Each structure stands twice: as C-alpha cells, then as structure tokens.
Amino acid sequence: MINETALLESRTLRSDILEHTDALDRVKALSLLPDGMHVTTAMVATYFQVTAEAVRQLTKRHREELESNGMTVLRGADLREFESDNMSLSLASYPQARRSLTIYSRRAVLNVAMLLRDSEVARQVRVYLLDMEHLARTQPVENPSPTDTSAQDARIDQRITHILGRTVVPMFNALIATSGEHRRELIELRTDIENVERKLCWHHKRLATLEGDTPADDVRAKLKAMTWQAFEHHVADLLRRDGCVDVVVRQARTDRGIDITGRTADGRTVAVQCKNRSGRSTVPSADMQKFAGAARAIDHVDVALFVATCNFSHESQAVAKLSGVVTVNREELEAWSAGVLLKALQ
C-alpha cells in the first residue's frame, strides 16, 4: 500500500490519483468562485486552514506541477474579464490595483492537498485518497471466460444497469434536490450506486468483447446515422441519464448558440451547444466564441458544454480553456454514449 510519505514525495504517485477530486468534498465542503470551477489563493488557504503565505510558498516550489493541473495566473485582459464575472468576491477581498490573480481548479486544489504537509485537512484528504487506492488495489477482479451463459449474464447486466440509470439514480436526484440536512449523505449514496452502474457497464463490455462484439463501433454507427435534431435529443437523454433535471432541447434559430439547457442534480445551471459534423472537419474558433459568449456573458451558466461528433481545432480549444467551456469531442462523446459518466456534471 502506498504510504503518505511516498505520496508527498512522488509526483508520479500524485498524478495517478488526481482524478479523485471528490475526495475534497468528502473531507470538507470546498467553496468555489461564481464561475463554479475555480478558487483563489485565499480560498485555498481557508479550506486547508493555513495562511495564504503558506499556499503561496508551496505554489512557488511546485509551480510547474500545479500549473499542469489547473493552476493559472491571470493578468491584463484575462484578469479584468475574470473579475467582471466574479465581482461579488473579488471586489470585496482584493485591492483595485491588483496586477495578477492566481486561481486554482479543483484538480489543482487536490494537488495542493497532496503537497501541503502542515495541514490537518490536507492530511485527511490524503488519508481518504490512500484508503480508496488501497481498496481499488485489493478488491478482487473477476476474469469471466466465455461460456454458454455469458449472453444471459450480459442481458442481466444490461437490465440492472437500465434499472439503476432510469429509476434509482433519478430517484436520488429528486431527493437531493429537495433535501436539506441529509443532502451530503444522499449524494454519497448516489455516488455508490453510480459506481455499481459503472462496474456493470465495464462487465458487460468485457463480455461483449469476449463474444466478438464491438460496442464502440455500434455506438459510432448510431451517432453517425443521427440527424442534427436526433443528435440534440440524444445529448439531452445523456444529460438526464447523468442526473440533470429540467432538460430542454430548444431547436430554435434564436438560441444564440445554446441548444440545450438544464440543471445538474446539485442545482448548477447547464447550457449545451451540439455540433453534428461528419468526416474530418473540426469545430472552428468562431463557433466556440459564439457559444462561450452566450453561455458566459449573456446567460451566466455554471456548466457550459460544447458537444461535437468531430474534434476541436487548436484555436477553439484555446478559446474553450480561456472561457471555461467544457469540450466533449468525438471520442469522449462515444464513451459518454456507451455509459461513462461525464465528470463535468458530477
């Protein structure tokens, strides 16, 4: 089992478990800026119950690692734009003449937790991560062999997965939306159920592979055959499957680049742009700029998704990163359609 000292000293070990950002909220609620994605140095210090100077010194020592995991220093026009979208926090806490602002993604905050030695909160996060890593390593993995009953097992897995995705998870979403003091417990229970659903999807995929089927090709073919209207409804169904509520497909010419709206189970607003393009075409930066402007500047949504059946140009990816738009390219869309949960919605 990996020990805490090894985690503090090995960047490779830290990288292996940086996806588990849910560990932050399992230990203590992490408050975010109005954009729903970032925190400032002062907010990181408050979460870990240390001084802001301690966080700044750690940032200097591990700048390259933290920047690779979502820490960004904003200056100039980028800083002014970010502050205009987060006025309520920035004006109350910082001087007007500020020249730069360091912000951290949830992944970067988790990275800090694995580097910060003199914080009890950071230690608790590391303990939680190590416990989860130990369970993942020690849990027995079954290796099913193709038998006469494998097809029947696959049908059972699909039926159970359908029941979990269509009934149990939506039930928990409804309870979470109306609950008060038990909200955290309900979210944890829903996560456990989603993990079961994910394992069943994995099990079904292995059985299909052993039997010679190619699920990925089937998903790809279905997406390719969709009209743009059918594609938007498909994405809306994926949103609902992942727990979103009040999902509306606009399908109007006056949508300002927003095709679908909704809310996540925890109340965050969602806006989606869908692009159904075949061949080797890519999403140009102009389309991304239009959507980012509508989602961020006009509607001020919490989660902005750009979903495409193709890939994104380098310019459009740069615009998405700068404006906080989550891109879902062809490969990610196929995985999402095959049953993988979209992390941006969790």
Q: What is the dihedral of CA 25, 28, 33, 34, to 10 degrees?
A: 60
Mean pLDDT to the nearest integer, 207-233 = 72
Task: Quick: pLDDT tens for 112-136.
Answer: 999 998 899 999 888 888 877 666 5
Most confident of 55-64, 166-175, 214-223, 264-273: 55-64
Q: How is residue 131 written in tokens?
A: 């416990």
pLDDT at position 90 is 42
Q: Indicate the domain borders of the chain.
A: 4-135, 141-213, 219-345
Q: Which of 293, 300, 255 is nearest to 274 (CA)?
A: 255
Range list of H helices, the chain: 4-9, 11-16, 22-27, 41-48, 52-61, 63-68, 76-85, 87-93, 106-113, 120-138, 150-163, 169-178, 183-210, 215-224, 228-241, 285-292, 314-323, 330-337
Task: Quick: pLDDT tens for 63-108.
Answer: 999 999 889 999 888 888 888 777 544 444 444 556 888 999 999 9
Mean pLDDT to the nearest integer, 182-196 = 63
- Encoded amino acid at 200, one letter: L
pLDDT at position 175 is 58
Is the pTM above the cut of 0.95? Answer: no
CA distance 302 to 55: 27
Q: Please give the CATH number for the structural domain made up of 219-345.
A: 3.40.1350.10
